Structure 1
Amino acid sequence: MKRLVILGGGESGVGTALLGKAKGYDVFVSDKGEIKQNYKDVLIHNEIKWEDKQHSESLILNADIIMKSPGIPDKVELIQKIKTAGINVVSEIEFASHYTDATLVAITGSNGKTTIASLTHHILKQELDVGLAGNIGDSFAKQILEKNHQNYVLEVSSFQLDDIQDFKPHIAILTNISPDHLDRYDYKFENYIASKFRIIENQTEDDYFIYDADDEVISEWLENNPIKSQKLPFSLTKEFENGAYIKEENIIINIDNNHIIMPIKKLALDGKHNVKNAMAASTAAHLLKIRKQTIRESLENFQGVEHRLENVLRINKVQYINDSKATNVNATYFALESMQAPTVWIVGGVDKGNDYREVFQFVNEKVKAIICLGTDNTKLMQTFGNMVDVIIETQFMSEAVKIAYKIASAGDNVLLSPACASFDLFENYEDRGRQFKEAVRKL
């Protein structure tokens, strides 16, 4: 009996444990932190051995295969020992993909992954049997075990792609690449870029690669690296024989002379980045033979993703917007770009070596006040102190929202778009977004 050891007892770990057990592995789950009670209950109920608050090397280094949580860096001593022992280390998407013949649509990129994945799933589910997994919802492994859909839309991170071997999506989407998580890539941007492009490394000429042709990093990489898959670019400025582009305020998607035309003004979501998200999702749907009318209707009624430019409430003619999912500067760039009114901007958290220069033009144009919400706001105060008349710091979400309420006048926006990770004051970006919404509702 082959031994499968799983490092990390979260959603992907427990899902893999269930699938592994069903496929006849001797399964052991080990987590250095505490496993949440709901996951413990699942493991106990399924008679799967586990430990938490420690990693017992004697129980790990005898594995035939190890699935590690994407959150564990390769630099960790235990991982080094595992690699030295020659044990095969894979990610959940790699392990799970061996047990399904489903058509896979996989989406990666620094920003926009969740929106494109949710939008693609929203369109496909109108006509196909399709699951949504990866970094969203129930784990891929668990869904293969319980639902076994014929199609899956997967949101995948660079960390998950770092540990693939044979993983091969039929349709791969790359949204954009901006510096993020560089601490995991020896602070070398090229390592992070290479990691993202692993999404297409196993593709053949029968597969498709949908990507943002306006992204210089992607375009440059493609110039220097030949790929096998069929390219379907999308762009706001260029036109293509095969791909998606803009003409006279319409999105045009053209694949082998088969067109879809969609008026931009009918899209449910605002902002240039959402035009791109619509292009990417529709191209995938078009490839999977979804009817044009279904694609159009789905783009018109899609509600968006929680914590991503989510309109919370309008109070005294001030719109409060939750963009807690903006954990890097590039995501905040899209948020500020789409603001149509003077904005009170709530920013801050754990800075991942951020370079804020790309948002300067929008801060000068649109931001009337900045509220820094983090344990250490020095860099923000120094960077933006001279750009706005009002800059205030706090360490409490409730206080940040009260300050914003006092500063904002009728017609303004109050935008939470932190550009940073959330781990200094919050459990995660969802917790941060929920606290923001709660504070707004209490005003």
Structure 2
Amino acid sequence: MGRVLVVGFGRSGQAAARLHRARNDGRTLSVYDDNSGNLRAAENQGVQPWDGCITDVEQAIWSPGIPLSHPLATGLAAAGCEILSEVAFAAPDLPPVIGVTGTNGKSTVTGLLVHLISRSGRHAVAAGNIGTPVSEVALQTKNTAPEIVVLELSSYQLELPLGLSPVGAILTNLAPDHLDRYADVTTYYRTKWRLVEALSSAGLAVLPKNDDAVEALAAAVIPKTRLERCDGSLVDGWVTGEALDSPSGRMNLAQAATMARYLGIPEAALRQGGEDFDGLPHRRQVIGRFGGRLWIDDSKATNVAAVVAALHDAKEPVVILLGGQGKGEDYEPIAEAMMGRRVQAICYGQDGAALAKATGGQRVETLAEAVDIARDSAPLGATILLAPACASFDQFTDYAERGRVFASLAAEGGGDS
């Protein structure tokens, strides 16, 4: 029997290893990872590090965090090894899938669609980039299978074939992002569009209305599936909770509701779900009112388009905290979104100087310093908004840790009575 190689032993790699064991197909399992901590975790779970011999590797399960330009991918492909995404590896054990991708809003739309489906009494789960590995869901289906899996897919997860044909797809929007990984923005957009191309022949693709980048892709191919475009006006008049009470929130609701209708979810469940959806952490999350200011954690706003949308929705005056590890984007659109509005920028971290230059903001080193200045300088009634426009890896493990630190720093000022 041959060998299955897990390339990258993070959460998805570990779940894929467990799924491989559950299938019990007789093939040896090994792991490749240049992180010593992940290798120790593999050995603790009974998975041996790979010895580097390519000849017996039949299948490699490739982590989306590792670019396919990695020399190992070239070597495996030259040896005739099948390179699979974790999604494709798990695909044979999955129930029907709805895929969600896009530059911004995809986690919220994923969670919201699951919420709307569940509101009708049907069993749906969220997986993929939102947090739960796809292989973990595949393992769960061996006991209690959900009726539908709503799968959030990053562009990284779409670089390799999905290995399945979703019954529905939502493309939330397209804007420049991950230009540190892709040769140009067109390559990034085309990678996102692969979800629509993978749809089943009877599937529905929900697209944003009046999105030039999306329309260019739609015009360049003849899709075999139905395309439906929508905007926030679809839910005009609906009562929504605080999490969806903004133009971008209503757009998210419109897209999720359009797909839910396609799945046969009753109108009453859609409206109730829109009203009681609580949102997701670190995505326009209201931390609280401290010192007479409203503190909002949008740590997941890791690109320029997300920051522009957050500024558009924020109540003035605004103090925005920008910074982190940049992705090669132009920050000028943020400056344009600030023009003519009462917005002050405080910029920190690796790209703090570039952000301060673009926005005319104040430059500091750390998020803690930025919070201290925001607390001292923001007028009463202001919104203090963490919307960094950057990845977090210069100072934090991930965007979630950054958001938690921000919330803790915000609360140090004491809550309003």
Measure how far apart 1:4 and its partner are.
1.4
Q: Hey, what's the Cα distance between the residues in 1 that align with 2:351 and 2:211? A: 32
Deviation larger for 117-126 or 357-366:
357-366
1:349-407 CA-to-partner distances (Å, cap 9, x unmatched) read: 1111121232333312334321111134221222122xxxxx32222222211110000
What is the root-mean-square deviation of aligned Cα atoms in Å? 1.9
Unaligned runs of 5+ in 2: none
Tell me, yes or no, if the aligned pair for 1:10 and 1:35 is still in contact at 8 Å: no
Unaligned runs of 5+ in 1: 237-245, 253-261, 386-390
Post-superposition, which runs of at least 4 consecutive aligned residues in structure 1 deviate over 6 A?
A: none
Measure how far apart 1:267 and its partner are.
4.8
One of 314, 321, 324 as aligned partner of 1:339: 314
What is the count of residue pairs matched by the alignment? Answer: 406
Q: Hey, what's the Cα distance between the residues in 2 that align with 1:278 and 1:195? A: 24
1:216 aligns with 212
Q: Hey, what's the Cα distance between the residues in 2 that align with 1:61 and 1:314? A: 61
1:97-122 CA-to-partner distances (Å, cap 9, x unmatched) read: 1222x111110011101000010111
TM superposition score normalised by structure 1: 0.87
Measure how far apart 1:177 and its partner are.
1.1
Tell me, yes or no, if the aligned pair for 2:230 and 2:255 is still in contact at 8 Å: yes
2:35 aligns with 33
1:259-278 → structure 2 map (5 Å cutoff): 263-268=237-242, 269-278=244-253
2:195 aligns with 199
Choose between structure 1 and 2 for higher RCO, CA contacts under 8 A separated by at least 6 residues. 2
Measure how far apart 1:15 and its partner are.
0.8
Measure how far apart 1:299 and its partner are.
0.5
1:105 paired with 2:103, answer no
Q: Hey, what's the Cα distance between the residues in 2 that align with 1:183 and 1:204? A: 32
Tell me, yes or no, if the aligned pair for 1:344 and 1:368 is still in contact at 8 Å: yes
Change (3 A) 1:427 1:165: closer
Q: Hey, what's the Cα distance between the residues in 2 that align with 1:56 and 1:270? A: 54
Tell me, yes or no, if the aligned pair for 1:168 and 1:200 is still in contact at 8 Å: no
| Letter paired with 1:34 | S
2:329 aligns with 354
Q: Hey, what's the Cα distance between the residues in 2 that align with 1:413 and 1:297? A: 29
Tell me, yes or no, if the aligned pair for 2:335 and 2:358 is still in contact at 8 Å: no
1:233-312 → structure 2 map (5 Å cutoff): 233-236=229-232, 246=233, 251=234, 263-268=237-242, 269-312=244-287
1:185 paired with 2:182, answer yes
1:176 paired with 2:146, answer no
1:177-218 CA-to-partner distances (Å, cap 9, x unmatched) read: 1111123222x2221111111112232431111111221100
Q: Hey, what's the Cα distance between the residues in 2 that align with 1:56 and 1:435? A: 40
Deviation larger for 103-112 or 17-26:
17-26
2:83 aligns with 89
1:388 aligns with none
1:136 aligns with 130
Change (3 A) 1:214 1:35: farther
Percent identity of equivalent pairs: 31
One of 80, 97, 101 as aligned partner of 2:74: 80
| Letter paired with 2:335 | F
Change (3 A) 1:208 1:2: farther
One of 86, 94, 108 as aligned partner of 1:115: 108
| Letter paired with 2:60 | I
Tell me, yes or no, if the aligned pair for 1:104 and 1:170 is still in contact at 8 Å: yes
1:258-288 CA-to-partner distances (Å, cap 9, x unmatched) read: xxxx624535412211111001111111111
Tell me, yes or no, if the aligned pair for 2:116 and 2:260 is still in contact at 8 Å: yes
Deviation larger for 62-71 or 136-145:
136-145
